[in-house]
Structure 1
Amino acid sequence: MTDDLCLFALSETRAFGRSVATSLGTELSDHAEDNFDDGEHATRPLTNVRDKDVYVVQSMYDAPELSVNDKLCRLAFFCGALRDAAAARVTAVLPYLSYQRKDRKSKPRDPVTTRYLAAMVEAVGVDRVLAMDVHNLAAFQNAFRVRTDHLEARPLLVDHVLREVGERGVVVISPDEGGVKRAHRFAKALRVRGDRAVTVAFVEKVRQDNRLTGGSLVGDVDGRVAVIVDDLISTGTTIHRATEACAREGAEEIYAVATHGVFVGNAAKNIGTDLLSRTFVTNTIPPFRLEGTKAHAKLEVCDASGRVARAIAAIHTGGSVAALNTIEEEPTST
């Protein structure tokens, strides 16, 4: 990388950031995060960023040490400090973007938190936002007035799934109607990379008053491997319902695939079921909530840092991030 690039990784994202730096052939730039007795904090760069192209990596998941809101505040303050230090361009690199599921009003007077988060980031002078597999791409792009780049983990996850399923027949399952397009893209990637026929099915799901109903499978999985694909796994209830539906309809084996493993609530129980052979996620969120559980033993964590590094390199050199999401690219497995 050129000398005018600076890469920072905040708080608990430093391990991920170091992997990104290694892939870029550079090192993380130094910064300080100071905590004060009154609960306030200060975050500042220790490297000269004047006229530099600066990237700040912060995966905004909730953790025991720092909440989602702590991380958002630290990100905003640090990006503001970079702007005050005369950085030429500041890009927020968000492997996992918090509040992305609250992108519309579902009840009267509901907040549209995704848009408010975007306003906060823009207010401190961020020029560009790079995020991986957001829940609703159109909502993400419309919430921000600054430039946005969307990176997919699909090429990485497809390679891992293909190694697991071998030559067997595959059906890609969307756990609800809203994810059918995502399932079709994943199936297309499996067809191209695996040189095989892959079909798509989906599970009917109705959410009312925060309760899920439905569970009928639309499509044929009998005697084939079912691969359930979603953008994230939170409590795992949606994945569990889809797993049960596939098992009832005679699936030979069942896998779950998601970019982000949030794993809250009953997730360990829901994805630890014997019906589910393996769950594939990336390391945008460390699976610390599953440690010591049966679900953790069946979890395969795919390293997404290399893809994030390639996206940063593309932005820095004027290349295309969208091109990294195409299925024609070479395998990206780690």
Structure 2
Amino acid sequence: LIGKLTGDLPVTIFSPDGGGVKRAQLLKEALEAETGREIGFGFMEKRRSRNLVSGELFAGDVSGSAVFIVDDMISTGGTMLRAALACRERGAKTVYAIAAHGLFGKGADALFGSQAIDRIIVTDSVDSAAVANARYPQAPLDILPIGRLVGKAIRRLHTQGSISELTGIEH
């Protein structure tokens, strides 16, 4: 999937906030091991106080890159959109928002209407992703099925198999 989306562009994995840095690093390492390509890395600072989001720190070089902003979930999409805009301002060629759970609650209209993000990629772990797909049919939203993966994980847990081997991530 990465090669299909990026072509020859350099790839950068990006965390939209400090809390997701470890998740993004693990994905970066797994992609490097799988593809043999050098993968860039970056993150943004995000502080929330009284429902106001602030933080200007931007770490990493995204210029000329295909950037994959990775988070655990997308609720309103504000965090993803903030990071995408910052990456675009710094020269990112393409920007993809990827998350395990697409909740897409109140306020997600701005995310789906933005030109800053080329594709939004989530799993079918919650029904709200399919609801959003129906509500915003023109949105660049891809929903990936995870049923098989969950089934394999349950089977491995039941037979004392290795989840690490299943995901390809060493701990």
| The two structures share one fold, judged by TM-score above 0.5 | yes
CA offsets 1:146-205 (integer angstroms, 9 cap, x no match): xxxxxxxxxxxxxx3343223320111100111111111111112122221111111111
**Aligned residue among 66, 79, 92 for 1:251:** 92
Q: Which residue of 2 aligns with 1:291?
A: 134
Q: Which amino acid aligns with 2:136?
A: T
Q: Separation in 2 of the partners of 1:271 and 1:176? A: 20
Question: 1:208–1:186: structure 2 CA closer, same or farther, 3 Å change rule?
Answer: same
Task: Point out where structure 1 has 5 or more consecutive residues left out of the alignment.
Answer: 1-159, 329-334
Q: Distance in 2 between matches of 1:271 and 1:162?
A: 24
Cα distance in structure 2, aligned partners of 1:277 and 1:262: 19
Higher relative contact order (CA 8 A, sep 6+): 2
Provide the C-alpha distance between the structure 2 equivalents of 1:266 and 1:215, rounded to a whole number of angstroms: 22
Amino acid corresponding to residue 141 of structure 2 in structure 1: L
Instruction: Confirm or deny: 8 A CA contact 1:205 1:212 kept in the other structure.
Output: yes
Aligned counterpart, 1:318: 160
Report SS of the residue matched to 2:85. Answer: helix
Contact 2:112 2:139 in 1 (8 A): no
Structure 2 gaps of 5+ residues are: none
RMSD of aligned residue pairs (Cα, Å)? 1.8
Distance 1:162 1:272, change over 3 A: farther
Count of residues in Structure 1 that have an aligned counterpart in Structure 2: 168
Cα distance change, pair 257–162 in 1 and its aligned pair in 2 (3 A) = farther
Aligned partner of 2:11 in structure 1 is 170
- What secondary structure is seen at the aligned counterpart in 2 of 1:297? coil
Per the alignment, do residues 161 and 279 of structure 1 end up closer, same or farther by CA in structure 2, a change over 3 Å counting? farther
Quick check: 1:210 aligned with 2:51?
Answer: yes
Paired with 1:177 and 1:276, the residues of 2 have a C-alpha distance of 20
The Cα shift of 1:259 comes to 0.4
Matched, 1:307 2:143: no
The 8 Å contact of residues 234 and 263 in structure 1, kept in 2 or not, is answered as yes
SS at match of 1:324: helix
Question: What is the aligned-residue identity percentage?
Answer: 37
Partner of 1:88: none
Structure 1 contact 272–298 (Cα < 8 Å) conserved: no
Is contact 1:256-1:280 (8 Å) kept?
yes
The answer on whether the counterparts of 2:133 and 2:141 sit within 8 Å (CA) in structure 1 is no
Match for 1:201: what amino acid? G
**Cα separation, partners in 2 of 1:301 and 1:290, compared to 1, 3 Å:** closer
* Cα separation, 2, equivalents of 1:242 and 1:271: 15
Shift of 1:227: 0.8
Structure of greater Rg: 1
Alpha-carbon distance between aligned partners in 2 of 1:300 and 1:216, rounded to the nearest angstrom:
30
1:290 Cα deviation from its structure 2 partner: 4.2
C-alpha distance in 2, partners of 1:316/1:290?
34
What is residue 123 of structure 2 aligned with on the other side? 282
Alignment of 1:258-269 (within 5 A): 258-269=99-110
**2: CA distance, partners of 1:326 / 1:255:** 22
3-state SS, counterpart of residue 235 of structure 1: coil
Residues 193, 322 of structure 1: CA spacing in aligned structure 2 closer, same or farther, 3 A cutoff?
A: closer
Using the alignment, how far apart are the partners of 2:111 and 2:82 within structure 1?
9
Separation in structure 2 between the aligned mates of residue 290 and residue 212 of structure 1, nearest angstrom: 27
